[in-house]
Amino acid sequence: MNNKTNFLVRTAVVASLYVVITFAFYLLSYEAIQFRVSEVMVLLAFIDPLYIPGLVIGCFMANLLGPFGIIDALFGSLASLVSLLMIVKTRKWFGNNLKSLVIASLWPAIFSFIVAFEIAIVLGAKESFWFWTIMVAVGEFVVITLAGVPIFSWITKNEGVVKLLKFSKYSYK
């Protein structure tokens, strides 16, 4: 399989997994405090930035099919994209270590205000912006930082697993 095909297949698999995991935990994924288990996958960008397209597409599709539809797909994907780019930057700034991974894991919670803005608009309750910011941030923090960091800490310490997860050996050009 050539590099471009491999990249497209891996991107499609990541996007599909994100959607499937989101829907497998539907009630947790779309509640006031969203414990979206699939969000732990954002830490894949810490391993290789080439996961970003699949994760953003997966988020877009999961949100498009969710209760808020297209507006959630747009705002949620934007929040994911910004968070993913910052996860990659954090690794570049601080290296491949636990401190860097913990800092990287916080970006989705920090950018939760993007999703909170969307929810406040959709519900027609701008005064609830800070409430939604906190609710989304708590869910992101629990799933990504408290659950995801230990998982990815183990992964990043195992060269064989990292090698399997890296796109780099198939580098897309």
- Model confidence at 104, pLDDT cuts 50, 70, 90, reads very high
Whether the predicted pLDDT of 168 surpasses 70: no
pLDDT, residue 170, reads 44
Q: What is the pLDDT of residues 42-96, one digit of tens each?
A: 999 999 999 999 999 999 999 999 999 999 999 999 999 999 999 999 999 999 9
pLDDT, residue 169, reads 54
The residues near 18 (Cβ < 8 Å, ≥ 6 apart) are: 38, 41, 54, 55, 57, 58, 59, 61, 62
The domain of 83 spans 3-167
The total of structural domains in the chain comes to: 1
Does any domain span residue 173? no
N residues, the chain:
173
Q: What is the pTM of this model?
A: 0.91
Instruction: List, in sequence order, the alpha helices (H) in 32-97.
Output: 44-47, 52-64, 69-94
- Model confidence at 5, pLDDT cuts 50, 70, 90, reads confident
Does any domain span residue 41? yes
Does any domain span residue 67? yes
Does any domain span residue 55? yes
Whether the predicted pLDDT of 126 surpasses 90: no
- CATH number of the domain to which 132 belongs: 1.10.1760
Whether the predicted pLDDT of 166 surpasses 80: no
Does any domain span residue 50? yes
Does any domain span residue 172? no
